[in-house]
Amino acid sequence: MSDDPYLLPHSTVLRNRFGVINQEELDRKEANVVVVRSTLLQANPLKGNFDKAHLKAIHHFLFQDVFDWAGAFRTISLLKRDLVGGMHVTAFAPPESIEYELKELLDKLAQDGFLKGLPRKQFAAALARLFGEINRIHPFREGNGRAQREFVRQLARAVGYPPHFEVVSKERLVQASILSAHGDFSMMERVMDEITDTERIQAVAKVIEHFGSHGFSWNDRYLATTTPGESYSGTFAGSDGTHFFFYDSENRILVGRVKDLQGMPKSKEKVTFTAT
């Protein structure tokens, strides 16, 4: 018998307000209602001071139709297994330290003026650390990612650098979150830099639109733009005339500038270049 009070008896499915006992059905119903509430939240952000109460209010708003405990911090320990970066287990903050660690983190955010006045790249780096630390603490039993995205989205919009999470694949954000939970913020910093940069957002959005028109599921793949100064090699896949995308040796999908290539390659042709 599980000692997790959040689960249905003799099950791995979370207790829920739908009365659903099947995980796939719960995932579907939860996603449907939360995406609507997320849209409402983006149109009408909840007022708050970017503190613990504000984060709780966002989580409650998103998940109030799904869980009775929406907006309440978890009371049990949480572990997640992964293979990114050679790590095998991610241990989140113990329940007894959630309140203290979040207060300390968000008090510092307030002391830093809520990151106002920073150049975009510095802001992106600071936002990455904030996002990564909230994820490491993992204050809720479920729904942490969606709640923290809305929290930092609202913060960033108030500062003038709205992040476009819609161009970040789930796989890439998961990898960045795992690494940041273990103290490596480099991938998360690249994510936040990319999704606050208008040019790079537009380049990835066009590739995503292309994938959508061909029925290709991109969300479970690593998708990113190239980084200026870095050298790349891979297999050319397509172009819109200004940008192109290719697959590298790790089967990641990367988006680069056509001007960095020597001529226009054919589909599946090998390319080698340095990004600018």
pLDDT digits (tens, 9 = 90+) for 204-242: 999 999 999 999 999 999 999 999 999 999 999 999 899
Classify burial at 173, counting beta carbons within 10 Å of its beta carbon; exposed 0-12, middle 13-18, buried 19 or more: buried
- What is the distance, to the nearest Å, from the Cα of residue 229 to the centroid of all Cα atoms in its chain? 25
> In this predicted structure, what is the pLDDT of residue 86?
62
pLDDT digits (tens, 9 = 90+) for 168-210: 999 999 999 999 999 999 999 999 999 999 999 999 999 999 9
Q: What CA–CA distance (Å, rounded) separates 223 from 37?
A: 26
The residue written with tokens 């106002």 in the block is 116
> In this predicted structure, what is the pLDDT of residue 89?
83
pLDDT digits (tens, 9 = 90+) for 241-259: 999 999 999 999 999 999 9
- The dihedrals phi and psi of 51, each to the nearest 5 degrees, come to -120, -170
Is residue 81 very low, low, confident or very high in pLDDT (cuts 50, 70, 90)? Answer: confident
Q: What is the mean pLDDT of the chain?
A: 95
Q: What CA–CA distance (Å, rounded) separates 124 from 130?
A: 10
**Arithmetic mean of pLDDT, 252-276:** 96
Q: What CA–CA distance (Å, rounded) separates 74 from 90?
A: 16
Q: Which two tokens stand for residue 50?
A: 């970017």
Q: What CA–CA distance (Å, rounded) separates 131 from 38?
A: 18
Which H/E stretch holds residue 198?
helix 198-213
- What is the distance, to the nearest Å, from the Cα of residue 257 to the centroid of all Cα atoms in its chain? 24
State yes or no: pLDDT of 117 exceeds 60: yes
Classify burial at 147, counting beta carbons within 10 Å of its beta carbon; exposed 0-12, middle 13-18, buried 19 or more: buried
What residue ranges do the domains of the chain occupy? 23-196, 221-274
> In this predicted structure, what is the pLDDT of residue 83?
63
Which neighbouring-strand residues pair with 225? Answer: 255
Is residue 88 very low, low, confident or very high in pLDDT (cuts 50, 70, 90)? Answer: low
> In this predicted structure, what is the pLDDT of residue 2?
66
> In this predicted structure, what is the pLDDT of residue 80?
87
Q: What CA–CA distance (Å, rounded) separates 271 from 268?
A: 9
> In this predicted structure, what is the pLDDT of residue 230?
96
Which CATH architecture best describes the domain 221-274? Beta Barrel (2.40)
State yes or no: pLDDT of 148 exceeds 90: yes
- DSSP conformation class of 98: H
State yes or no: pLDDT of 1 exceeds 60: no
- What is the distance, to the nearest Å, from the Cα of residue 50 to the centroid of all Cα atoms in its chain? 18
**Domain 23-196 homologous superfamily, CATH:** Fido-like domain (1.10.3290.10)
Any idea of the CA torsion for 111, 116, 120, 122, to the nearest 10 degrees?
-20
- On whether the pTM is more than 0.85, the answer is yes
